Amino acid sequence: MNENIAIEVKDLTKIYRLYEKSSDRVREALHLTRRSRHTEHYALRNVNIDIRKGETVGIIGTNGSGKSTILKIITGVLNPSGGEVNVNGRISALLELGAGFNMEYTGLENIFLNGTMIGFSEKEIKAKLQDILDFADIGEFVHQPVKTYSSGMFVRLAFAVAINIEPEILIVDEALSVGDVFFQAKCYHKFEEFKQMGKTILFVSHDLSSIARYCDRVVLLNKGVKLGEGSPKKMIDIYKQVLVGQYQEEQSDQEEASDNLLNDPAIMEAAGKSMRDGSDHSDPGYQETNSDGKNPETLEYGSKKAVITEYYVEDDKGKKSNAILKGSEFSIHLKVKILKDVAAPIFAFTFKNVKGTEITGTNTMFEKAFLEGCKKGTEKEIVFTQKMDLQGGEYLLSFGVTGYEKDDFTVYHRLYDVLNITVISDKNTVGYYDMNSKVTVKTI
């Protein structure tokens, strides 16, 4: 095993036997029947992951994709059905509420119990005790049995123990979602400290903003199979395809995995113009470049019932531009061709930062601006007008046309990160947007 690797997962497989009734399990175990009475469920199938020392890696996927299973195997809670896991470093894990705690013991007793299980002596635990108590901040409840704790108090203590025993590898499985907002902020601040110290962090979360902000790399699982790994932005975009049933698993290359609408001759003919860059090639000013802020490698997918044929941004002077002055009014323009009858399409835009975190956005349903059905052959032009209050910097703009069909959410066409928008500012405040505060200072 490479000394720079903290966790090595090779061909990891976990199979569960599922029985229709409990008596079938007994009959099969006692060999009272010749035929198999179970079906095999693959929670994980031939998964390979290498996590380097000092990395923060997130695992995302839908429910039942195998995220928690792989963490439990890495930490030794479960045994694999096949493959192997090698760990280089001392692990501290917070897998689920109550894991590793004796409900009858007090909080204080559980601190010593957990510390001992990890390999610390009583003297070493006592040296860290005050830091643990300060972080948990549960007061005198530390002397009460943990079975009397609220879920918030429980996770405070569990995380305080996990984070303060100086692990080389920290593993967290969705546990932080139980704590209050102040505790979550304190935990993520600790994550930042860990990253700066070169510790390895592996965590599962449905909070995609946290995944985008803290992870160096993301692994995407689906139905026990690793769909891919890479930058948070790329994996989150693929995950969103999985959520709406638009990801094609048989295609390994992500650019092939999209529906490749731009190269579909029928769609091109119906739309009447190129959709790759959202502009008419007959325009004498057209050039095959991305100098106008358009992304030549746009990720797109959808059912093709409606397609976005053109998109651009206008500044406060009505000129097409991808550079917007902070504080000025600007407009986002979409043109959409309806290729099949659709009921109440929803037109949307989203701003992301360069790490893929969604900053803001809206759609015609939120704004109650358009709630009608559209017939085949209809063309719509949608204009969103607003003031630019984002901080100065670089942003990515995405578009979508979606809707509901018999209560099922459907994606007709999505274009991710199609435009780079530069916000020009001579005054930036804290965070993503400016509250435009009016300040007065008086002498009293």
Using one digit for the tens of pLDDT, what is the confidence trace for 383-422?
A: 999 999 999 999 999 999 999 998 889 999 999 999 999 9
Q: Per-residue confidence at 96, pLDDT binned at 50, 70, 90?
A: low
d(CA 347, CA 401): 5
Does 127 fall in a domain? Answer: no
- CA-nearest of 182, 300, 196, 288 to 240 is 300
> What's the pLDDT tens digit per position in 334-345?
999 999 999 999
d(CA 191, CA 185): 10
Q: What is the pLDDT of residue 279?
A: 37
Residue 180 pLDDT exceeds 70 = no
Residue 233 DSSP symbol: H
Distances (CA, A) of 4 to 1, 71, 89, 90: 9, 20, 11, 14
Between 35 and 323, name the one with better pLDDT.
323
Distances (CA, A) of 152 to 132, 149, 177: 16, 8, 9
Average pLDDT over residues 7-17: 93
Q: Using an 8 Å Cβ cutoff, are 303 and 410 in contact?
A: yes
Q: What is the pLDDT of residue 163?
A: 81
Q: What is the pLDDT of residue 249?
A: 55
d(CA 368, CA 197): 49
Q: What is the pLDDT of residue 175?
A: 62
Q: Per-residue confidence at 189, pLDDT binned at 50, 70, 90?
A: confident
Q: What is the pLDDT of residue 325?
A: 93
Q: Using an 8 Å Cβ cutoff, are 200 and 7 in contact?
A: yes
d(CA 242, CA 400): 16
Q: Using an 8 Å Cβ cutoff, are 188 and 117 in contact?
A: no
Most trustworthy range by pLDDT among 189-193, 364-368, 427-431: 364-368
Q: Domain count of the chain?
A: 1
Does 275 fall in a domain? Answer: yes
d(CA 117, CA 276): 57
Between 355 and 282, name the one with better pLDDT.
355
Residue 271 pLDDT exceeds 50 = no
Q: What domain range is 281 assigned to? A: 259-424
Q: What is the pLDDT of residue 141?
A: 92
pTM comes to 0.74
Q: What is the pLDDT of residue 366?
A: 95
Q: What is the pLDDT of residue 67?
A: 93
Between 209 and 380, name the one with better pLDDT.
380
HSE-CB of 172 using CA atoms within 13 angstroms: 31
Residue 199 pLDDT exceeds 50 = yes
- CA-nearest of 251, 253, 250 to 234 is 253
The gap from C-alpha 96 to its chain's centroid, in whole angstroms, comes to: 19
Kindly report the average pLDDT of the chain as a whole number.
84
Q: Per-residue confidence at 266, pLDDT binned at 50, 70, 90?
A: very low
Does 340 fall in a domain? Answer: yes
Does 84 fall in a domain? Answer: no
Q: What is the pLDDT of residue 256?
A: 42
Whichever domain contains 412, its CATH number is: 2.70.50.60
Does 398 fall in a domain? Answer: yes
d(CA 342, CA 212): 34
Q: Per-residue confidence at 357, pLDDT binned at 50, 70, 90?
A: confident
Q: What is the pLDDT of residue 135?
A: 87
Does 171 fall in a domain? Answer: no
Q: Per-residue confidence at 176, pLDDT binned at 50, 70, 90?
A: low
E-assigned strand segments in 135-237: 169-173, 200-204, 217-222, 225-230
Does 311 fall in a domain? Answer: yes
- CA-nearest of 263, 257, 328, 329 to 299 is 257
Does 242 fall in a domain? Answer: no
Residue 136 pLDDT exceeds 80 = yes
Q: Per-residue confidence at 51, pLDDT binned at 50, 70, 90?
A: very high
Between 139 and 250, name the one with better pLDDT.
139
Between 88 and 3, name the one with better pLDDT.
88
> What's the pLDDT tens digit per position in 137-149?
888 999 999 999 8
